[in-house]
Structure 1
Amino acid sequence: MYLGAALAVGLFDRLAPSAVAELRLVGAAIVLLAWRRPGRRAWSGVRLVRAGCFGLATALMNVAYYEAIARLPLGTAVAIEFTGPVLVAAVASRRPRDWGAVLLAALGVAMIADVRWSGSPAGVLWALGAAAMWAAYVLLGKRVANAGSGIDDLATGFAVAAVLLSPLLLLGAGPQAPAVGFANLAPLADPVLLALSVGLGVLSSVIPYVLDQVVLRRVGQARFAVLLALLPAAATLVGLVVLAQLPGLAEAAGIVLVIGAVLLRSRDGDEPVPEPAAPAAADRPG
């Protein structure tokens, strides 16, 4: 995921962050649709609405996240964004040990962030917006996973979101584009940029989100949310290696606390995930 984010940062000189996020979404939708080829039932009724809401929440999370990492170091942005799943874990937790893990993760995230409002308040606000959408991603993703066709619904949800957010492509060339208009679509004619967009969609969306659907079918929301605490640590390390964003001592200590929270929480099991109900006879193929 964060190798893909590092690739996205390199595209911000040519395209606005929101446009890069939309291209990532389009690339991921194309790959997922070609792979899964969802049937007609996936494109109608409650299932399509549920998948569309999930896809839109995911897409808005990515838009806000890209706007944040255009203004903040990768690890800092992800650490702020992580307040979303931390809140989900706190609400869903039942045992003192769960709360201890959540508090440990929150402390680690705060140490990684080291946020200074004077540096980039806009970046912080975008990251907080991404946090809200990340919480929605966990909650809606669990419903999609429990419905039993998570990866197919991921494909249709991404397709719906790609269509709804297509106007973001009009932001066009560069994060400082002076106007929104069709003239900004010129960079999209570059086949190299389009190939990078598909690669970005695979790295940052297809692989991570497909794995998320597998994991969400097997664990509860609280455990999944705390496992996500590994992400700010991973983002900080990728930022160091790929983008030369050196973490301070507080951030390094925060990584240790976050990993400790994951180890503490993951020792306990969650309640079994209920299997989806068998489809009615009218809904069965053939």
Structure 2
Amino acid sequence: MPAPGLVMGGVLGLQCGAALTTRLYPVVGPAGVVSLRLCLAAVVLTALWRPGLRWDRTTLGVAATAGTLLAVHHLSYYEAVDRLPLGAATTMEFLGPFAIALFGSRRAADLLWACLAAAGVVLLSHSGIPLDAAGLACALVAGCCWGGYILVGKRLAERVPDGRGLALAVAWGALLSLPYGIAQAGLRLLEPTTLALAAVVAILSSVLPYTFHLEALRRLPPRTFGVLTSLEPAVGALIGLVVLGQHLAVPQWAGVLAVALASIGATRAQGRTGLRKRVGSS
């Protein structure tokens, strides 16, 4: 599959899985959802790839860092989804990849993209339907972790040429999240209907998307990856509307689109700058 198709397939799986998790919140809570999702995904990925531990310290450290970022991202993102419409939570989370698109830029034009993104956040959080402040804060933490994961995931994909690195990272993230899930849900985590729905969520939200995205990161620079995921806020808002019946006000829809357009513009500008540098040096 072409790399852009892998990225967009991962985006769709992430958002559909996030929509399904709302059915689990009343039973096991956000932390329980995260524990089930990561643990089940770790079982599937470990069975498929059998990663082992016979790697150098640097590779193990990169995998552990990626797993830690995944665990913190999931815990904060699902706390945000529990408090916010899916489109709003995803838009705030997406500020992490947007920051990567702007990182290190010295172009004056990129300031305009940053202003557009800031305007989108203002429209999203201060107009129309009121949004929970704690939910917005959790979504921002998730954005920081997702941005960090893109950078660390690129290193992991370069050091491990198959899915073993991802399997180890997800397994480590599952171990980190499990105490929080047990504290919040206890034995409710083991109910058959809960496990069945959580397995679907794990496949949609973890196994397929992270496998797709890691393969795409092997072929694409992080900035290009950021452009391709720029539609995630809009996808999340549409799935929230169609699947969950979550409505955003017109100004909030404008905020979602503003953040997506700012990310596309900033990342494309960075790509052109990098191309001119390579041509000039040759």
The one-letter amino acid paired with 1:33 is T
| Alignment match of 2:38 (pick from 17, 20, 25) | 25
> Does residue 240 in structure 1 map to residue 253 in structure 2?
no
Task: Determine the structure 1 residue equivalent to 2:77.
Answer: 65
Task: Name 1:176's counterpart in structure 2.
Answer: none
Moved more, 125-134 or 18-27: 125-134
Q: 1:29 to 1:97 in 2, by over 3 A?
A: farther
Deviation at 1:261, TM superposition (A): 4.4
Partner of 2:163, secondary structure, is helix
Q: Which structure's relative contact order is higher, taking Cα pairs within 8 Å and 6+ residues apart?
A: 2
Quick check: 1:226–1:261 contact (8 Å CA) kept in 2? Answer: no
Q: 1:205 matched to which residue of 2?
A: 206
TM-score for the superposition, normalised by structure 1: 0.80
SS, match of residue 247 in structure 2: coil
The correspondence of residues 240-259 of structure 1 with structure 2, limited to 5 A, is 240-258=241-259
Give 1:3's aligned residue.
Answer: 16
Which structure has the highest helix share of the two? 2
Counterpart for residue 53 of structure 1: 65
Q: Residue 28 of structure 2: SS of its match in structure 1? A: coil
Offset, 1:252: 2.9
Residue by residue, what CA displacement relative to the aligned partner does 1:8-67 show, whole Å, maximum 9, x if unpaired? 11110001201111111111111111122224435x522122101101101110110011
Map Cα deviations across residues 225-252 of structure 1 (whole Å, 9 max, x no partner).
3433211111100100011011221233
Counterparts of 1:1-286 in structure 2 under 5 Å?
1-42=14-55, 45-93=57-105, 103-108=115-120, 110-114=122-126, 119-149=131-161, 151-173=163-185, 184-185=186-187, 187-258=188-259, 260-261=261-262, 264=265, 265-266=267-268, 268=271
- Normalised to the residue count of structure 2, the TM-score between the two structures is 0.81
Q: Contact 2:91–2:233 at 8 Å: present in 1 too?
A: yes
Q: Aligned Cα RMSD in Å?
A: 2.7
Q: Where does the alignment leave 5 or more consecutive residues of structure 2 unmatched?
A: 1-13, 276-282
- Tell me whether 215-224 or 26-35 shows the greater mean CA deviation: 215-224
Aligned residues: 260
Is the 1:12–1:70 contact (alpha carbons within 8 Å) kept by the matching residues of 2?
yes
The runs of 5 or more residues in structure 1 that have no matched partner are 174-183, 273-286
In 2: Cα distance, 1:29 partner to 1:198 partner: 11
Taking only the aligned residue pairs, the percentage that are identical comes to 38
- The answer as to whether partners of 1:28 and 1:158 remain within 8 angstroms in 2 is yes
